[in-house]
Amino acid sequence: MNAIVEVNRLRKTETDRLRGMAYTVTGPAAKVDAFVRGKRELHREPFGGSVSAVVMGAETGARRDREEAERAGLEFATASLRQLIVYLTKDGISTAKAGDRA
Protein backbone atom coordinates (compact mmCIF):
# COMPACT_ATOMS: atom_id res chain seq x y z
CA MET A 1 0.00 0.00 0.00
CA ASN A 2 1.21 3.49 -0.82
CA ALA A 3 2.80 5.12 2.26
CA ILE A 4 0.81 8.35 1.85
CA VAL A 5 -2.47 6.45 1.65
CA GLU A 6 -1.52 4.49 4.77
CA VAL A 7 -0.61 7.64 6.72
CA ASN A 8 -3.90 9.28 5.72
CA ARG A 9 -5.83 6.15 6.72
CA LEU A 10 -4.12 6.07 10.12
CA ARG A 11 -4.70 9.79 10.62
CA LYS A 12 -8.42 9.39 9.85
CA THR A 13 -8.67 6.42 12.22
CA GLU A 14 -7.05 8.38 15.03
CA THR A 15 -9.26 11.41 14.35
CA ASP A 16 -12.41 9.29 14.41
CA ARG A 17 -11.26 7.59 17.62
CA LEU A 18 -10.54 10.92 19.29
CA ARG A 19 -13.88 12.41 18.21
CA GLY A 20 -15.63 9.36 19.59
CA MET A 21 -14.23 10.16 23.02
CA ALA A 22 -15.35 13.81 23.18
CA TYR A 23 -18.91 15.01 23.56
CA THR A 24 -21.01 17.96 24.67
CA VAL A 25 -23.68 17.80 27.36
CA THR A 26 -26.16 20.64 27.74
CA GLY A 27 -28.84 21.31 30.30
CA PRO A 28 -29.56 22.88 33.68
CA ALA A 29 -26.30 23.82 35.42
CA ALA A 30 -26.89 21.62 38.50
CA LYS A 31 -27.57 18.55 36.35
CA VAL A 32 -24.53 19.18 34.13
CA ASP A 33 -22.35 19.71 37.23
CA ALA A 34 -23.49 16.37 38.65
CA PHE A 35 -22.91 14.62 35.32
CA VAL A 36 -19.37 15.94 34.72
CA ARG A 37 -18.17 15.32 38.28
CA GLY A 38 -15.10 13.07 38.01
CA LYS A 39 -14.88 13.46 34.22
CA ARG A 40 -12.35 15.50 32.22
CA GLU A 41 -14.12 18.73 31.29
CA LEU A 42 -12.40 20.55 28.42
CA HIS A 43 -14.66 23.57 28.17
CA ARG A 44 -17.73 25.07 29.82
CA GLU A 45 -20.10 27.66 28.40
CA PRO A 46 -22.79 29.00 30.75
CA PHE A 47 -25.93 30.69 29.46
CA GLY A 48 -28.64 31.69 31.89
CA GLY A 49 -29.36 28.82 34.25
CA SER A 50 -28.03 26.29 31.74
CA VAL A 51 -24.56 25.21 30.79
CA SER A 52 -22.91 23.39 27.93
CA ALA A 53 -19.81 21.35 28.77
CA VAL A 54 -17.38 19.61 26.44
CA VAL A 55 -16.15 16.42 28.08
CA MET A 56 -13.35 14.02 27.14
CA GLY A 57 -14.60 10.58 28.09
CA ALA A 58 -13.09 7.14 27.95
CA GLU A 59 -12.88 5.59 24.51
CA THR A 60 -15.09 2.70 25.56
CA GLY A 61 -17.46 4.72 27.75
CA ALA A 62 -19.25 6.94 25.21
CA ARG A 63 -22.36 4.76 25.00
CA ARG A 64 -22.61 4.53 28.78
CA ASP A 65 -22.08 8.31 29.12
CA ARG A 66 -24.78 8.98 26.52
CA GLU A 67 -27.25 6.77 28.37
CA GLU A 68 -26.38 8.43 31.69
CA ALA A 69 -26.82 11.92 30.21
CA GLU A 70 -30.17 11.03 28.65
CA ARG A 71 -31.43 9.54 31.93
CA ALA A 72 -30.47 12.83 33.62
CA GLY A 73 -32.45 14.79 31.01
CA LEU A 74 -29.37 16.31 29.36
CA GLU A 75 -28.76 16.87 25.66
CA PHE A 76 -25.81 14.80 24.41
CA ALA A 77 -23.91 15.43 21.17
CA THR A 78 -20.56 14.45 19.71
CA ALA A 79 -18.09 17.33 19.93
CA SER A 80 -16.94 18.69 16.59
CA LEU A 81 -13.35 18.12 15.57
CA ARG A 82 -12.91 21.90 15.39
CA GLN A 83 -14.06 22.31 19.02
CA LEU A 84 -11.82 19.49 20.12
CA ILE A 85 -8.71 20.93 18.49
CA VAL A 86 -9.35 24.35 20.02
CA TYR A 87 -9.94 23.00 23.53
CA LEU A 88 -7.07 20.50 23.47
CA THR A 89 -4.53 23.04 22.21
CA LYS A 90 -5.68 26.02 24.26
CA ASP A 91 -2.95 27.51 26.47
CA GLY A 92 -3.35 26.67 30.12
CA ILE A 93 -5.88 23.90 29.62
CA SER A 94 -6.75 22.25 32.88
CA THR A 95 -6.36 18.49 33.04
CA ALA A 96 -8.10 18.36 36.40
CA LYS A 97 -11.33 16.48 36.60
CA ALA A 98 -14.46 18.57 37.00
CA GLY A 99 -15.08 17.44 40.58
CA ASP A 100 -11.62 18.67 41.58
CA ARG A 101 -12.41 22.35 41.03
CA ALA A 102 -12.51 24.61 44.06
Closest listed residue to residue 86, CA positions, set 22, 33, 2: 22
Q: What are the tens digits of pLDDT across the range 17-55?
A: 777 788 999 999 999 999 999 999 999 999 999 999 999
Instruction: For residue 44, count other CB atoms closer than 10 A to its CB.
Output: 16
Closest listed residue to residue 47, CA positions, set 18, 27, 68: 27
What is the model's pLDDT at position 102? 39
What is the model's pLDDT at position 51? 97
Q: What are the tens digits of pLDDT across the range 59-76?
A: 667 788 999 999 999 999
Closest listed residue to residue 53, CA positions, set 71, 85, 30: 30
pTM over 0.85? The answer is no
The topology (CATH level 3) of 3-100 is Alpha-Beta Plaits (3.30.70)
Closest listed residue to residue 74, CA positions, set 40, 41, 44, 33: 33
